[in-house]
Protein backbone atom coordinates (compact mmCIF):
# COMPACT_ATOMS: atom_id res chain seq x y z
CA UNK A 1 0.00 0.00 0.00
CA UNK A 2 2.95 2.32 0.57
CA UNK A 3 3.82 1.86 -3.10
CA UNK A 4 0.38 3.12 -4.15
CA UNK A 5 0.45 5.92 -1.59
CA UNK A 6 3.80 7.05 -2.97
CA UNK A 7 2.48 7.09 -6.55
CA UNK A 8 -0.62 9.04 -5.51
CA UNK A 9 1.19 11.54 -3.30
CA UNK A 10 1.40 15.18 -4.35
CA UNK A 11 4.71 16.94 -4.92
CA UNK A 12 6.21 17.79 -1.55
CA UNK A 13 4.45 14.95 0.27
CA UNK A 14 6.59 12.18 1.66
CA UNK A 15 5.47 8.59 2.17
CA UNK A 16 7.34 6.86 4.98
CA UNK A 17 7.56 3.10 5.25
CA UNK A 18 8.68 2.43 8.82
CA UNK A 19 9.80 -1.15 8.10
CA UNK A 20 11.59 -1.67 4.79
CA UNK A 21 11.10 -5.41 5.20
CA UNK A 22 7.33 -5.04 5.47
CA UNK A 23 5.40 -6.76 2.75
CA UNK A 24 1.91 -7.78 1.80
CA UNK A 25 1.01 -11.44 1.48
CA UNK A 26 -1.89 -10.51 -0.79
CA UNK A 27 0.33 -8.57 -3.18
CA UNK A 28 2.73 -11.52 -3.19
CA UNK A 29 -0.04 -13.80 -4.52
CA UNK A 30 0.37 -12.47 -8.07
CA UNK A 31 3.52 -11.34 -9.80
CA UNK A 32 3.24 -9.03 -12.82
CA UNK A 33 5.11 -11.57 -14.95
CA UNK A 34 2.55 -14.26 -14.09
CA UNK A 35 -0.32 -11.90 -14.91
CA UNK A 36 1.26 -10.88 -18.22
CA UNK A 37 1.82 -14.55 -19.10
CA UNK A 38 -1.78 -15.37 -18.23
CA UNK A 39 -3.03 -12.47 -20.36
CA UNK A 40 -0.89 -13.62 -23.29
CA UNK A 41 -2.48 -17.05 -23.00
CA UNK A 42 -5.93 -15.43 -23.08
CA UNK A 43 -4.92 -13.46 -26.19
CA UNK A 44 -3.50 -16.55 -27.94
CA UNK A 45 -6.70 -18.45 -27.12
CA UNK A 46 -8.76 -15.67 -28.72
CA UNK A 47 -10.50 -14.87 -25.44
CA UNK A 48 -9.00 -11.40 -24.95
CA UNK A 49 -7.23 -8.76 -27.01
CA UNK A 50 -4.04 -6.96 -26.03
CA UNK A 51 -6.06 -3.91 -24.95
CA UNK A 52 -8.75 -5.72 -22.99
CA UNK A 53 -11.58 -6.50 -25.35
CA UNK A 54 -13.26 -9.76 -24.30
CA UNK A 55 -11.99 -9.79 -20.71
CA UNK A 56 -12.07 -7.08 -18.06
CA UNK A 57 -9.19 -7.32 -15.57
CA UNK A 58 -10.14 -6.53 -11.98
CA UNK A 59 -7.57 -6.45 -9.20
CA UNK A 60 -7.87 -6.13 -5.47
CA UNK A 61 -6.41 -2.99 -3.90
CA UNK A 62 -3.69 -5.04 -2.17
CA UNK A 63 -1.92 -5.81 -5.42
CA UNK A 64 1.27 -4.25 -6.71
CA UNK A 65 1.30 -0.96 -8.57
CA UNK A 66 2.46 -2.85 -11.67
CA UNK A 67 -0.65 -5.04 -11.59
CA UNK A 68 -2.90 -2.04 -10.96
CA UNK A 69 -1.33 -0.36 -13.99
CA UNK A 70 -1.75 -3.55 -16.04
CA UNK A 71 -5.47 -3.55 -15.28
CA UNK A 72 -5.86 0.14 -16.06
CA UNK A 73 -4.03 -0.19 -19.37
CA UNK A 74 -6.50 -2.86 -20.42
CA UNK A 75 -9.63 -1.01 -19.36
CA UNK A 76 -9.93 -2.71 -15.99
CA UNK A 77 -10.33 -1.49 -12.45
CA UNK A 78 -8.97 -1.76 -8.90
CA UNK A 79 -11.47 -2.75 -6.21
CA UNK A 80 -11.75 -3.15 -2.46
CA UNK A 81 -13.63 -5.90 -0.67
CA UNK A 82 -16.55 -3.52 -0.10
CA UNK A 83 -16.95 -2.57 -3.77
CA UNK A 84 -15.91 -5.86 -5.42
CA UNK A 85 -19.49 -6.63 -6.47
CA UNK A 86 -19.88 -3.21 -8.08
CA UNK A 87 -16.51 -3.59 -9.83
CA UNK A 88 -17.53 -7.00 -11.14
CA UNK A 89 -20.89 -5.70 -12.40
CA UNK A 90 -19.09 -2.81 -14.09
CA UNK A 91 -16.55 -5.16 -15.67
CA UNK A 92 -19.20 -7.59 -16.89
CA UNK A 93 -21.11 -4.71 -18.50
CA UNK A 94 -17.96 -4.09 -20.60
CA UNK A 95 -17.06 -7.71 -21.39
CA UNK A 96 -18.57 -11.11 -20.82
CA UNK A 97 -15.54 -12.34 -18.85
CA UNK A 98 -13.44 -11.09 -15.92
CA UNK A 99 -9.88 -11.79 -14.85
CA UNK A 100 -10.07 -11.24 -11.09
CA UNK A 101 -6.86 -11.20 -9.10
CA UNK A 102 -5.05 -11.85 -6.91
CA UNK A 103 -7.58 -13.12 -4.36
CA UNK A 104 -9.44 -16.07 -5.86
CA UNK A 105 -11.63 -16.37 -2.75
CA UNK A 106 -12.93 -12.79 -2.98
CA UNK A 107 -13.45 -13.23 -6.72
CA UNK A 108 -15.24 -16.56 -6.42
CA UNK A 109 -17.40 -15.58 -3.44
CA UNK A 110 -18.39 -12.25 -4.97
CA UNK A 111 -19.12 -13.84 -8.34
CA UNK A 112 -21.20 -16.53 -6.68
CA UNK A 113 -23.14 -13.86 -4.75
CA UNK A 114 -23.86 -12.17 -8.09
CA UNK A 115 -25.34 -15.40 -9.42
CA UNK A 116 -22.39 -16.65 -11.47
CA UNK A 117 -22.37 -20.45 -11.17
CA UNK A 118 -19.20 -21.93 -9.73
CA UNK A 119 -18.82 -24.18 -12.79
CA UNK A 120 -18.40 -21.04 -14.93
CA UNK A 121 -15.41 -19.87 -12.87
CA UNK A 122 -11.81 -20.93 -13.43
CA UNK A 123 -9.10 -20.68 -10.76
CA UNK A 124 -5.41 -20.43 -11.44
CA UNK A 125 -3.33 -19.54 -14.45
CA UNK A 126 -4.12 -21.08 -17.81
CA UNK A 127 -1.71 -23.68 -19.14
Please tell me the predicted confidence (pLDDT) of residue 92: 96
Distance CA 47, CA 92 (A): 14
Kindly report, residue by residue over 35-86, the tens digit of the pLDDT: 999 999 999 999 999 988 999 999 999 899 899 999 999 999 999 999 999 9
- pTM value? 0.84
- The pLDDT assigned to 15 comes to 81
Least confident of 21-35, 44-58, 110-124: 21-35
What distance separates the 2 farthest-apart alpha carbons in the chain? 50
User: Does the pLDDT of residue 23 top 90, yes or no?
Assistant: no
Instruction: Give exposure, 34-58, as e/b (b: 16+ Cβ within 10 Å).
Output: ebeebbeebeeeebbeeebebbbbb
Amino acid sequence: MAESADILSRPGQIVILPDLNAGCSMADMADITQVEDCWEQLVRAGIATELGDGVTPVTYINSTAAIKAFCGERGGVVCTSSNAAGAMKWGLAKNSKLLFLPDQHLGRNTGHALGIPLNEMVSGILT
